[in-house]
Amino acid sequence: MRVTPEHLAMLASVITPEDTEYRRAAYRERRIPRADGVQDIDTRYRWDLYWYATTPRYAVASRVSDRLQHIVRDANGDDVIVNPTARPIRDAMRDGDYLTTHIDTALRRIVPAL
């Protein structure tokens, strides 16, 4: 595997908490957008977790996920990044010059098959 142990640990730290039984059941039962076009549900699940975990999300007053209701705006009224590790992890993957196959191998180590 080409992904360094440090980068693997970074990925695991943000992906593992998102790998919930509720989300797994939704994917197993194909209750996801564009499910009819998915050939390999395990690959789709791994990569959806990757993009969800490594995309910066912002909490705003009108739309805050249930898990993050306590974070809305900072003292200046600016949006608060609710997953501040997302950007550094995505940057590490880019700077590591990894191919998608390298990232997928790392994801296979982190995310068990459905």
Give the pLDDT confidence of 68-100 residue by residue, as tens digits: 444 444 556 555 555 666 667 777 777 777 888
pTM assigned to the model: 0.74
pLDDT score for 18 = 86
pLDDT above 80 for 10: yes
- Comparing 45 with 71, the larger pLDDT belongs to 45
Residue numbers of the domain that contains 84: 5-110
- Please name the residue ranges forming H helices in 1-114: 5-15, 21-28, 41-54, 86-95, 100-110
Domain count along the chain: 1
pLDDT score for 1 = 67
